[in-house]
Amino acid sequence: MNTKQVTLLATFKARPGKEAELRKTLLALIPPTRKEDGCIDYDLHVATDDPSKLFFYENWTSKAHLEKHGETPHLQDLVKRLDELCAEPLQLTYWEKIG
């Protein structure tokens, strides 16, 4: 099992008129996610020049913990609503700290 720490950037682009609803939906993910095993940090950011662009900056103790997060009911509920809330597909990029 890979036990290296992993960082994920999950980037969202809200549909026009859905900015506030997407933001509220994403903010609701923070409390349960921060309680999950392996979650180091889970922080939501919004672009200073465009409230329709948001991203999570996430650090997990291992890829296995991150994968388990993807199976949680609160995240699965979000996945079901992505087409409704987002103008573009969810972008996930994985990172490894090197320094």
pLDDT digits (tens, 9 = 90+) for 29-86: 999 999 999 999 999 999 999 999 999 999 999 999 999 999 999 999 999 999 999 9
pLDDT computed for residue 2 by the predictor: 55
pLDDT computed for residue 83 by the predictor: 97
pLDDT computed for residue 45 by the predictor: 98
Structural domains of the chain ordered from first start = 6-95 (3.30.70.100)
Residues 6+ apart with CB under 8 A from 52: 13, 14, 15, 16, 19, 22, 87
pTM, two decimal places: 0.92
Rg for the chain, CA atoms, rounded: 13
Assign 98 a pLDDT band (cuts: 50, 70, 90): confident
